[in-house]
A and B are shown apart, each in its own frame.
Chain A
Amino acid sequence: MQEATHDETHAALNTVFREEAGRLVGALVRILGDFEVAEEIVQDALLVALERWTVEGIPAQPGAWLLTVARRRAIDQLRRDARYRDKLVALEYPVVAEPDDRLRLMFTCCHPALSRETQVVLTLRAVCGFTTAEIAHAFLVSESAMARRLVRARHKIMQAAIPYRVPRAEELDERLGEVLAVLYLMFNEGYLASGGSSPARRDLAEDAAWLAAFVTRLYPREPEALGLLALMRLHLARAEARFDTRGKLILLSEQDRSRWDRRMITEAVAMIEQASTLGRPGPYQVQASLVACHAEAASWQATDWPQILALYDLLLQMMPSPVVRLNRAVALRYVAGPETALTEVEALARDLDGYHLFHAIRGELLLELGRCEQGRAAELRALTLTDNQAEQSLLRYRLSSA
């Protein structure tokens, strides 16, 4: 099999899994009333498909194919289980997916009674149809460890009776916030790690953006959902320009801006404007506006730093975190100079000592101010704190040329 064909098959498989898995799990949870059984049956069907389709090709109606396999497995498995005997009858008929199934499923996976990381892995598995192996790979843990974790998560959903439903209006803000936080984490996991050593893996960032688009279709009047989708699209629009041909990270200031996807940027900016007309500003909208500022600048030199600084001030009011302050300090460097920025950065030493970007930014400012020895020490410290290969090689490059 040729490399390109292999990749194409994989891309097609991913698209089908993403389209069908959540819908199928959702329908089965509704019919069986059992998240655990439904999720396992569909995962089994996906594994069968993965094996067969890579050899035989993807069938004309992949959804129906998966449903047939899943239903057959369900009947097989449930025949031995008295609790589901009557539900088997329902499964003999074609399973009709209700439009809300995938949404309910998403709210179950992102229930606040589950830890953030569990929410992410469950969403990947049940909603996006990732296999356990793919998730384990994405989170750099062994497949058996990830399998154990997924088993515990499914047990908790069943034993603690986490409901399968769309939350009531008065809970929606909080619950949608959980979903958006999960999608953002999923996106970052994919986006930041994309320079890693494994280009063949399924792209978490693409799936996160796809789900964010799904959420905005269902909740078109939720400005933070729009903001998050715009933020993701603005990053994705520039993804191509982030790495050179050898997979080395290229800094924003050095990127070839003609490689940015202008159309995607324009659409994302329109989305931010649409969100702002709803009159409820929030952190995702502000972060999207920040990224838009960079994306719309014709060159690094043309960047509107005062505007970026103002947006960081706004973000800091909404999310008073040391990481936001650190990023604000970078904008401050271009408005008020490296000396002022360094003072601001130094004030964060206690909170961010374990964060590699703190040391990288501090190092850069020190080097700029001619304090080379301290600067190199800070950059070395940053190097020891990151596992990401692309970031490591960038830091090494900076050290060698400093």
Chain B
Amino acid sequence: MKYVLMFCGRTPQEVARWEATSEEARAQRDARVGEWFAEYRSKIGGAVQLQAAYATTSVHFTTDGRPLITDGPFLEGTEVIGGYAEIDVADLDEALQMAKTWPAGGVEIRPVVSSDRS
């Protein structure tokens, strides 16, 4: 069963807080993220880390179909996607187990549409 784990990225406030934390604390978290990837290596198909939300550009379409370019993500929510990983596991419980041990924030679990199921 394939899922995409979408990792919550940092909001501008969190980015500020993150930049204020010590070099050591940051290194520790990076190490924990590295351990997590190592532990689940066999389940992970591919993973991508995204740049912060302020680097985002969105293209919307107006009602008459014209493209409209804006600075920033679609939804200025409190949570933005900071990266994602494709995983292949037995079922949702296994995906949940991975998400619960992710050391760097919230995770959204989305099942992937597969070609052999309608």
Interface, chain A (partner B; CB < 8 A): 111, 113, 159-163, 167, 171
Contacts and interface: CB of A to CB of B under 8 A. Distances in A.
A161 B111 contact: yes
B59 interface: no
Given A113-B96, A160-B92, 17 more contacts: A111-B92, A113-B92, A159-B111, A160-B111, A161-B1, A161-B90, A161-B91, A161-B92, A161-B111, A162-B92, A162-B93, A163-B90, A163-B91, A163-B92, A163-B93, A167-B93, A171-B93
A163 B92 CA distance: 7
Question: Nearest 5 pairs between A and B by C-beta?
Answer: A163-B91, A161-B1, A161-B91, A160-B111, A162-B92
A160 B109 CA distance: 9
Nearest to B93: A163
Secondary structure call for the A interface: loop
Interface in B68-118: 90-93, 96, 109, 111
A42 B92 CA distance: 25
20 contacts: A111-B92, A113-B92, A113-B96, A159-B111, A160-B92, A160-B109, A160-B111, A161-B1, A161-B90, A161-B91, A161-B92, A161-B111, A162-B91, A162-B93, A163-B90, A163-B91, A163-B92, A163-B93, A167-B93, A171-B93
Contacts of B1: 161
A261 to B, nearest CB: 41
Which of B90, B91, B93, B109 lies at the interface centre, i.e. has the most chain A CB atoms within 10 A of its CB?
Answer: B93
Nearest to A112: B96
Which of B92, B96, B109 lies at the interface centre, i.e. has the most chain A CB atoms within 10 A of its CB?
Answer: B92
A161 B96 CA distance: 11
Contacts of B90: 161, 163
Contacts of B92: 111, 113, 160-163
A167 B96 CA distance: 13
A160 B93 CA distance: 10
Nearest to B110: A160
Nearest to B97: A171
Contacts of A113: 92, 96
Nearest to A81: B118
Nearest to A163: B91
A99 B76 CA distance: 50
A284 B72 CA distance: 48
B13 to A, nearest CB: 27
A166 B13 CA distance: 42
A111 B93 CA distance: 9
Interface string B22-59: 00000000000000000000000000000000000000
